[in-house]
């Protein structure tokens, strides 16, 4: 290939792949298969290697490394997003109050608000409709994350009728409730994903995701706390908060008007204690001068307003002795180090242990045996070690060396490139993994076996009745022995055996999820079953073929292929199959709601206010319509929501394809 040819080909491939990335990640409407995408990407990578001088600095090849990430569009803020001055003690707050008093006299009020621990978001509304959502970024410009923010229920896409201006900006905090955080984080741990450290990180990780359908599955919430308009509409911040509430925005009810700094200090004292009763994390309070005119008088420094300040709660901290480090092995073999501490009182509870996360954390802290450590309790339930009092270290103290072998089974631990955690690879022979695996298998979301619980699994394992999942289905051959055991009554044995027998009817997707393959969560199991239909086809699929399935990335694909490569796993699967478990997808009879769309083809693109794309897709199929994967002359209708990609629109227009709204689609369904 001549250099000119190479240059042309590189440019063409780069442009094409960028468009595909956009279709996939922004529109969630891929127009080619992942496999074709990968082929083209490979061709591009090879050409770039041969002719590096023609490679685009922003080439799609530079963004693949497991998962492709597309940068969000950068948007400049109309009003810069400044930070707030921070204070950490009452005196600093009193000093702030005095500065304000000097500037504007004694006649003013404060609004006290909670300081939500999430990420700030700027929302722009045009004629009552959400137009744009932008992250703070560096304060001057941020990322356009509108598509993701549209999935947040408490952010109105359309306002209640009201006297709001045509154009305004409103700012607030996006966050995740602690309960949702714990639930979702546990689900991540369950399938071997890295957990997030706190709800804030989970929320900001979610907002930066490429796939807004994934974002929609993670419940985020939001409180608004600043209104920006071109023309001043209100006299005070307090009035503006009440107004935006009536327009449909979520404003935190724990907001208080204070006439004097003493009232502010009292507000702080209350929330310093009550914050643990909230369902979300706050890390302090924010104080704002109420009158907008006085705000203007006070003005800004380069970094922050002079009329507002934050007070940060002190994380409660104590010093104690590190007695030892122990290592827990989870169901997926993931090893977690735990610090055992000399018991100490902290924030009203006795603390004996602290999480150390992984080997990097031990290195970061440079932990030594017998170290005197600082332990902190923030919003999190489990305290953490924040540092070491090195002055107290004995001169001969040895550094804590991370273990090399599994504390439960003695197998050498492995650590995959790019991962923080160590794993014990002996998944069929390591006791906590075996028990954890069986507990996962019988769990509510998997086989949901009646009459068999986590503790019974432990007892049955310890007594030597079950070592593998398939042994559960042989328990009936031990019925008499089981009945002899003092912990079991005859009734409970019968119930358990019946529950086990019943579970053989559970659909294949539950069986697959129950196997506990790394990264194969409930949704992934469903997708795999829908695509491959039976275990044999699934086991035969190569990494490339798996990768080509919607929502199955290279990490999951590799995990599956690795799983089938272990003869012990195959033996288990064969046993389960022989025992009568479902290894084939259920044939679902499609009962059509109507024939109103029969013979018609559709593509859904963009974001809709009332329905998810999946819901619209179901509606179309249930009424006899067909979904196409790319725009072609065969397409009858393009159902378009907001934020549809310009390329798609252009193509549809070129082919004269009618573009309809979700409402028009509903009318078509109802009209016949
Ligand atoms: P800091 O990051 O410590 O400078 O604090 C400023 C940040 O606090 C802002 O960027 C917001 O994201 C956040 N914040 C949380 N709650 C509020 C609130 N009620 N009013 C203003 N800012 C808040
Ligand atoms: Zn082990």
Q: What is the pLDDT of residues 586-640, one digit of tens each?
A: 876 666 788 889 889 998 888 888 888 778 888 898 888 888 877 888 899 999 9
Average pLDDT, the chain: 88
Q: Can you tell me the mean pLDDT for 455-479?
A: 94
For the stretch 504-543, what's the b/e string if a residue is b when 16 or more beta carbons lie within 10 angstroms of its beta carbon? eebbbbbbbbbbbbbbbbbebbbbbbebbeebeebbebeb
Which segment of 185-199, 297-311, 452-466, 487-501 scores lowest on mean pLDDT?
Answer: 185-199
Is the pLDDT at 28 greater than 60? The verdict is no
Q: Say how many Å lie between the CA of residue 114 and the centre of ligand 1.
A: 9
72 vs 533, more confident: 533
- Phi, psi of 153, rounded to the nearest 5 degrees: -60, -40
pLDDT value of position 34: 62
CATH code assigned to 601-670: 3.40.50.10190
CA torsion through residues 93, 99, 104, 105, sign: positive
pLDDT of residue 111: 98
Mean pLDDT on 171-187: 91
Residue 67 has pLDDT above 70, yes or no: no
Q: 252 CA distance to ligand 1 centroid (A)?
A: 14
Nearest to 83 by CA among 275, 276, 305: 305
User: Higher model confidence: residue 376 or residue 377?
Assistant: 376
Q: Is the pLDDT of residue 25 over 80?
A: no
Among 452, 448, 477, 447, smallest CA distance to 465 is for 477
**Which pLDDT score, from 0 to 100, does residue 205 have?**
87
Query: Cα separation of 229 and 244, whole Å?
Result: 12
Mutate which of 139, 173, 200, 285 for ligand 1? The one with the most ligand atoms within 8 Å of its CB, which is 173
Secondary structure (DSSP) of 524-559: HHHHHHHHH-BHHHHHH--HHHHHTSTT--HHHHHH
Neighbouring C-beta atoms of residue 238, cutoff 10 Å? 18
* pLDDT at residue 65 in the model: 28
Residue with tokens 């929302």: 123
Q: How far is the CA of 474 from the centre of ligand 2 (A)?
A: 25
Q: CA-CA distance, 15 to 27, in Å (whole number)?
A: 17
The residue to which tokens 């306002």 are assigned: 159
Give yes or no for a contact between 114 and 286, defined as CB atoms under 8 angstroms apart. Answer: yes
Backbone angles phi, psi at 227, to 5 degrees: -110, 135
Which residue shows structure tokens 């209708």? 637
Is the pLDDT confidence value at 71 over 70?
Answer: no
Find out if CATH 1.10.287.610 is the number for domain 3-54: yes
**Angle, vertex CA 72, rays to CA 66 and CA 75, nearest 5:** 165
Chain centre distance of CA 638: 30
Ligand 1 close to Cβ of residue 173 (< 6 A)? yes
Residue 379: predicted pLDDT:
54
Q: How far is the CA of 615 from the centre of ligand 1 (A)?
A: 36
The class level of CATH for 74-312 reads alpha beta
Q: Answer yes or no: is pLDDT of 565 > 70.
A: yes
Q: Could you give phi then psi for residue 3, rounded to 5 degrees?
A: -55, -40
User: Does residue 48 have its Cβ closer than 6 Å to ligand 1?
Assistant: no
pLDDT in tens, 283-307: 899 999 999 999 999 999 878 899 9
- What is the mean pLDDT of the segment spanning 241-265? 95
User: What pLDDT score was predicted for residue 348?
Assistant: 67
Dihedrals phi, psi of 312, to nearest 5 degrees: -100, 135
Task: Report the distance separating Cα 473 and Cα 489, nearest Å.
Answer: 19
Confirm or reject: Cβ of 256 under 6 Å from ligand 1: no
Query: What is the Cα gyration radius of the chain?
Result: 29
Q: Name the one residue in this structure whose structure tokens are 């009440």.
A: 242
pLDDT at 581: 97
CA 654 vs. chain centroid, Å, equals 38
pLDDT of residue 393: 94
pLDDT of 35 > 70? The answer is: no
Token pair, residue 322, equals 């590190």
Q: Say how far apart CA 197 and CA 379 lie, in whole Å.
A: 11
Closest by CA to 201, choosing from 383, 417, 379, 415, is 379
Please give the distance of CA 25 from its chain centroid, rounded to a whole number: 16
Report whether 180 contacts 155 (CB < 8 A): no
Q: How many CB atoms lie within 10 A of CB 340?
A: 14
Between the CA of 183 and the centroid of ligand 2 the distance, in Å, is 26
Mean pLDDT of 389-398: 93
What percent of the chain stands above pLDDT 70?
94
Superfamily of domain 317-392: Nucleic acid-binding proteins (2.40.50.140)
pTM, two decimals, is: 0.64
DSSP designation for 73: P
For the chain, domain boundaries:
3-54, 74-312, 317-392, 431-578, 601-670
Phi, psi of 566, rounded to the nearest 5 degrees: -90, 115
- Higher pLDDT pick, 160 / 261: 261
- On the 0-12 / 13-18 / 19+ scale of CB atoms within 10 A, 92 is middle
Q: Write out pLDDT tens, residues 632-666.
A: 888 999 999 887 777 778 888 888 999 999 999 99
Q: Specify whether 416 is catalytic.
A: no
- Choose the weakest-confidence range: 225-234, 344-353, 390-399: 344-353
**What is the C-alpha separation between 4 and 74, in angstroms, rounded?**
33
**Cross-strand partners of 639:** 604, 660
pLDDT band at residue 33 using 50, 70 and 90 as cut-offs: low
Residue closest via CA to ligand 1's atom 17 equals 115
Q: Which of 193-202, 252-261, 315-324 has the highest mean pLDDT?
A: 252-261
d(CA 313, CA 282): 9
Lowest-confidence region among 105-109, 485-489, 519-523, 598-602: 485-489
Q: How far apart are CA 423 and CA 357, in angstroms?
A: 13
* Ligand 1 atom, smallest distance to 120 CA: 12
B/e letters for 120-148, b = 16+ CB within 10 Å, e = fewer, are bbbbbbeebebebbbbbbeeebbbbbbbb
User: DSSP states of 570-594 as a string?
Assistant: HHHHHHHHHTT---B--------S-
Question: For 275-336, where are the alpha helices, taking DSSP H only?
Answer: 292-298
Residue among 221, 253, 286 to mutate when testing ligand 1 (max atoms within 8 A of CB)? 286
Residue 557: HSE in the Cβ half-sphere, 13 Å Cα cutoff = 19
CATH fit for domain 431-578, picks 3.30.590.10, 3.40.50.720, 1.10.150.20, 3.40.50.300? 1.10.150.20
Question: How large a percentage of the chain has pLDDT more than 90?
Answer: 55
Indicate which residue of 115, 384, 437, 648 is catalytic: 115
pLDDT at res. 22? 65
Does residue 422 contact residue 359 with C-beta atoms inside 8 Å?
yes
């Amino acid at each position: 290939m001549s250099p000119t040819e190479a240059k042309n080909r590189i440019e063409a491939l780069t442009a094409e792949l960028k468009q595909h990335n956009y279709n996939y990640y922004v529109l969630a409407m891929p127009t080619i298969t992942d496999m074709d995408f990968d082929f083209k990407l490979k061709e591009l990578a090879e050409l770039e290697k041969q002719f590096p001088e023609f490679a685009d600095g922003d080439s799609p090849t530079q963004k693949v490394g497991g998962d492709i990430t597309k940068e969000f569009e950068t948007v400049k803020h109309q009003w810069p997003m400044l930070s707030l001055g921070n204070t950490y003690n009452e005196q600093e707050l009193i000093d702030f109050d005095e500065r304000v008093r000097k500037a504007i006299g004694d006649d003013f009020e404060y609004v006290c608000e909670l300081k939500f621990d999430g990420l700030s978001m700027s929302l722009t509304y045009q004629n009552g409709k959400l137009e744009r959502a932008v992250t703070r970024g560096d304060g001057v410009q941020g990322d356009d994350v509108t598509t993701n923010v549209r999935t947040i229920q408490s952010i109105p896409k359309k306002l209640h009728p009201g006297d709001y201006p045509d154009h305004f900006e409103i700012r607030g905090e996006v966050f995740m409730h602690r309960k949702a955080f714990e639930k979702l984080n546990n689900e991540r741990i369950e399938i071997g994903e890295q957990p997030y450290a706190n709800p804030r990180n989970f929320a900001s990780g979610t907002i930066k995701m490429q796939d807004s359908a994934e974002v929609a599955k993670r419940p985020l919430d939001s409180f608004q706390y600043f209104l920006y308009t071109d023309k001043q509409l209100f006299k005070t911040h307090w009035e503006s908060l009440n107004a935006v509430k009536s327009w449909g925005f979520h404003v935190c009810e724990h907001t208080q008007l204070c006439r004097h700094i003493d009232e502010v200090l009292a507000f702080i004292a209350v929330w310093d204690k009550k914050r643990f009763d909230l369902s979300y994390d706050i890390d302090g309070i924010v104080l704002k001068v109420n009158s907008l005119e006085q705000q203007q008088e006070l003005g800004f420094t380069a970094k922050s307003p002079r009329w507002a300040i934050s007070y940060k709660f002190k994380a409660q901290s104590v010093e104690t002795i590190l007695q030892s480090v122990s290592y827990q092995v989870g169901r997926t073999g993931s090893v977690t180090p735990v610090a055992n501490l000399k018991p100490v009182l902290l924030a009203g509870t006795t603390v004996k242990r602290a999480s150390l996360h992984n080997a990097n954390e031990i290195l970061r802290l440079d932990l030594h045996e017998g170290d005197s450590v600082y332990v902190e309790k923030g919003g999190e339930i489990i305290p953490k070690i924040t540092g070491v009092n090195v002055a107290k270290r004995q001169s001969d103290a040895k550094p804590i060396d991370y273990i090399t072998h599994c504390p439960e089974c003695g197998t050498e631990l492995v650590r995959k490139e790019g991962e923080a955690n160590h794993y014990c690879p002996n998944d069929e022979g390591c006791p906590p993994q075996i028990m954890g695996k069986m507990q996962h298998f019988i769990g509510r979301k998997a086989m949901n076996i009646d009459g068999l619980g986590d503790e019974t699994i432990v007892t049955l394992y310890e007594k030597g009745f079950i070592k593998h999942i398939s042994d559960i289905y042989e328990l009936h051959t031990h019925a008499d022995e089981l009945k002899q055991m003092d912990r079991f009554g005859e009734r409970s044995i019968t119930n358990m055996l019946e529950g086990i027998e019943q579970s053989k009817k559970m659909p294949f997707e539950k069986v697959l999820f129950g196997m506990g393959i790394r990264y194969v969560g409930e949704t992934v199991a469903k997708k795999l079953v829908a695509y491959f239909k039976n275990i044999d086809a699934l086991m035969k699929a190569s990494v490339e073929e798996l990768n080509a399935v919607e929502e199955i990335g290279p990490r999951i694909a590799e995990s599956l292929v690795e799983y089938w490569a272990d003869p012990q796993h195959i033996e288990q699967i064969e046993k389960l199959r022989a025992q009568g478990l479902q290894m084939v997808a259920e044939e679902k009879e499609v009962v059509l709601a109507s024939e109103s769309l029969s013979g018609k083809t559709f593509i859904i693109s963009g974001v809709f206010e009332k329905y998810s794309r999946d819901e619209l897709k179901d509606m179309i199929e249930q009424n006899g319509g067909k979904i196409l994967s790319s725009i072609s002359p065969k397409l009858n209708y393009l159902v378009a929501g907001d934020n549809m990609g310009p390329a798609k629109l252009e193509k549809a227009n070129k082919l004269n394809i009618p573009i309809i709204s979700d409402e028009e689609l509903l009318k078509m369904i109802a009209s016949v």
